[in-house]
Chains A and B, each alone.
Chain A
């Protein structure tokens, strides 16, 4: 089939998707208007939505075909692929640029919506409102991909000076930095996270619309929220991992505005998945939860807006584009309407109970929320500080990592202490004696752990405080888990390991959560390790050796790289530890061919990972005499960031998994 016909087909499908979604929206509005939900209208709305999803799927598939066949008549395909690009990366170019990313975004949105519509059977009263929320967001994004960031645009439509029918022999190619598996999974994971919050958001809208205020919507959306949170977590971690292995600056997080844009909704979502437990259990914090999920969803859209608008300068600096303005209007109007509506419904959403005691699970959750929201506020403040300072002082100023580290450190410590105590403290009113009894052992372990650190030479008070807080979380959560395991083992006579497994499986919400907490503690421990990072920059001739305790690095030789798509140098290094050669490392520096007006330099770092820390080797350059400029970094404990991230993933899976006893029973669709 002619690529141009495929292109038109994709565009037509997208237009039809827009029209069907519009139909779904209008019929949903009509259905919501009536006191008795008209089932006929609702069916039309549902089917139109599903048709919109199907057509967008076709449209996305069409773009994949164009990308896979290198149809350079399409401006997007031309700008993001080349014939030398491996097929895998050609397809991933779907989200390499703005237009394709937005298409993927809306496809995921419609996909989540379709999944919900297919599975949700509980309350037809809710559906019109859910459809309104889903369809209105989808309409906005569909309109963007059709009008403001058109993805099915031909070269001669995009560039008026290009002759009609032009087919370049070669495309502009994908940025070599993006040719990395971490970068392939990072954007879709983030989108799955960002967009996933549309479902709880839509339920919140339905609560406002129908006036049904019991906790049912939390039960219906718990798995959706957890799934979205999990994807967002994984997306952020994949991005951090990619930055670490690919960018060659030795770090994984730089407090860049675009990174922050994903971190802020992660924080509010984390607050949400904690505080809904109180509403579910005690009927409290209703307005607060509604506020949190609406705010989270708006922040997810704001994240996209921030990335795309060029409002703050960022190293991610996507090209400035007019869609920033559309986002600002959409977010401004949408946010105003929804928050205004929430305010008007406030009386119906009053809490059933009040906090009875300072020492209670409810109060712990309250403080957890206040601290997490404070962190979100601090990050947001730092991110948009250029605008704030311009407003306050008339001078545009920006803050860097020191601001974020200084402000977030004390808050993170407080939060960790709460994380240790929170799961153990009783609901309503805790007995101080019982609390002391439960915390004594973990506290003892933590103190012993910190004394151990002190003896082994850790003197910095902030580092000690950090390890104390993370250690406390670790020991408190493990202690409670092992105690519960011991009780089960005694009562049921099961094998100890079987008891441990059964607890995780049968009470995944609780113990999966513990696992996530342990993961967080380890992750923060890994972050704290950065205090002990060391760095050396050396110039070596072949045969020379540089030392970064406990390693010594000897330059064996420098090889030239001459491959089809790149040229460059490879330093062959013999790495020894305590005099014994442990590995041959080969950091590279390469210049990719055909990726720009000027060739772009990229470093391929080599990493020797250990749990105590990574030896991180960068080849900075090679001069005429064959001298290699090397950067040797010791990144202490950084591996624990990934270990902790992995545990967070595992723990979330346990929390998401339906308990085995309910097998065969039809599960709630959430």
Chain B
């Protein structure tokens, strides 16, 4: 009798946890989409959901607007397609032309722009494989360093 009570409580707890994990991850998950897919999903009407877009900051497009906290730039995804992004907030230390970024937020149809609420930059260690002592010597500048956590 006592044993069934304990088993029942454990089963209930486990069931509750699994439900919680499922429900919250469904509700909080943000999909990764490419530029083309984001535009397609919102072509007819506002899809109303948030996206994560991975790509590189197109060189020369970073523009600080109004005050320093709003930054507008263009992200180029792996297919080479581009989308403007507006982000409000302080940018991470590693945010610059060409940086690999993940931006998350809603898509604004009328402006064809991603209103990002989150901006993550990948760290410079991405260059580890490309670092090369010869080009470094030519440039009189050592290439980027390797394997380091980046600022966020």
Interface on A for B, CB 8 Å cutoff?
Answer: 72, 78-80, 82, 96-98, 155, 159, 161-162, 166, 168, 170-175, 177-178, 247-249, 254, 258, 313, 315-319, 354-358, 363, 366-367, 370-371, 374, 377-378, 381-382, 385-386, 388-389, 395-400, 402-403, 406-407, 410-411, 537, 539, 594-598, 600-603, 618, 620-621, 623, 629, 631
Q: Contact partner of B25 among A370, A381, A410, A597, CB < 8 A?
A: A381
For residue A315, which residues in chain B have a CB less than 8 angstroms away from its CB? 120-123, 149-150, 152
Q: Determine how close the nearest CB of chain B comes to the CB of A37; give it in whole angstroms.
A: 41
A600: contacting residue among B14, B93, B104, B139, CB under 8 A? B93
In the complex, A366→B3 CA distance in Å? 12
For A175, the closest partner residue in chain B by CB is B148
Interface check B68, CB cutoff 8 A: yes
Residue in chain B with minimal CB distance to A81: B145
Q: Is the CB of A357 within 8 A of B2?
A: yes
Alpha-carbon distance between A406 and B122 when the two chains are bound, in angstroms: 26
Q: Which of B75-92 contact A (CB under 8 A)?
A: 90, 92
Which of B2, B122, B145 is the one whose CB lies under 8 Å from A174? B145
Extra 18 A-B pairs, beta carbons < 8 Å, given A168-B137, A382-B21:
A96-B146, A175-B145, A258-B149, A355-B2, A357-B2, A358-B2, A363-B6, A374-B13, A381-B25, A402-B28, A410-B20, A539-B68, A595-B144, A595-B145, A597-B144, A598-B97, A601-B94, A603-B93
**Nearest chain A CB to B123's CB is how many angstroms away?**
5
Majority secondary structure of chain B interface residues (helix, strand, loop or mixed):
mixed
Cross-chain pairs A/B with CB under 8 angstroms, 16 sampled? A80-B145, A97-B147, A161-B132, A162-B134, A168-B136, A172-B144, A174-B145, A249-B151, A317-B123, A358-B9, A367-B13, A397-B31, A398-B52, A399-B24, A399-B30, A602-B93
Whether A319 contacts B25 by the Cβ 8 Å rule is no
Q: How many residues of B contact A (CB 8 A)?
A: 61
Q: Is the CB of B92 within 8 A of A249?
A: yes
Say yes or no: is B118 at the interface (Cβ < 8 Å to chain A): yes
Say how far A649's CB is from chain B's closest CB, in angstroms: 23
Instruction: Check if B122 sits within 8 Å of A248, measured CB to CB.
Output: no
CB neighbours of A318 from chain B (8 A): 125, 147
A152 to B121, CA, bound (A): 31
Q: Are A396 and B6 closer than 8 Å at their CB atoms?
A: no
Interface residues of B in 56-87 (CB under 8 A from A): 67-69
Give the number of A-B contacts (CB < 8 Å): 202
In the complex, the chain B residue whose C-beta lies closest to that of A319 is B128
Residue of A nearest to B49 (CB): A397
> Which residues of B sit under 8 angstroms from A366, Cβ to Cβ?
6, 10
Partner of B21, one of A174, A377, A594: A377
Residues of B close to A78: CB separation below 8 A:
133
8 Å CB contact of B118 from A79, A80, A174, A400: A400
Q: Which residues of the partner chain A approach B69 to less than 8 Å between Cβ atoms?
A: 537
Q: Is the CB of B142 within 8 A of A172?
A: yes
B17 at the interface (CB under 8 A from A): yes
Residues of A within 8 A of B128 (CB): 79, 97, 319
| Cβ contact within 8 Å between B142 and A317 | no
Please name all residues of chain A whose beta carbon is closer than 8 Å to the beta carbon of B92 when the two chains form the complex.
249
List, in ascending order, chain A residues with CB within 8 A of B131's CB: 79, 172
Instruction: Report, nearest first, the 8 A-B pairs whose CB atoms are least far apart.
Output: A175-B148, A397-B29, A319-B128, A596-B144, A403-B28, A374-B17, A97-B147, A397-B31
A374 to B24, CA, bound (A): 14
A249 to B89 Cα, complex, angstroms: 11
Give the complex CA separation of A400 and B29 in angstroms. Answer: 8
Q: Are the C-beta atoms of B132 and A159 separated by less than 8 Å?
A: yes
Residue numbers in B under 8 Å from A631 (CB-CB): 90
Within 8 A of A (CB), among B82-127: 90, 92-94, 96-97, 102, 104, 118, 120-127
B5 on the interface (CB 8 Å rule)? yes
**Which residue of the partner chain, among A355, A371, A539, A623, contacts B3 with CB atoms under 8 Å?**
A355
Kindly list chain B residues whose C-beta atoms are within 8 Å of the C-beta of A601.
Answer: 93-94
Instruction: Decide: B30 and A398 in contact? CB cutoff 8 A.
Output: yes
B152 and A358 contact, CB distance less than 8 A: no
Complexed CA–CA distance, A166 and B93 (Å): 34
Please state if A79 and B152 are interface contacts (CB–CB under 8 Å): no
In the complex, what distance in Å separates the CA atom of A399 from the CA atom of B24? 9
| Complex CA–CA separation, A535 to B125 (angstroms) | 30
Tell me which of B5, B13, B145 contacts A173 (CB under 8 A).
Answer: B145
Contacts of B148 in A (CB 8 A): 96, 175, 177-178
A631 to B10 CA separation, bound complex (whole angstroms): 47
B129 at the binding interface (Cβ < 8 Å) = yes
Once the chains are docked, how many angstroms separate the CA of A25 from the CA of B44?
65
Distance between Cα atoms of A602 and B145 in the complex (Å): 14
Q: A172-B136, A249-B152, A411-B17 are in contact. Are A597 and B31 (CB under 8 A)?
A: no
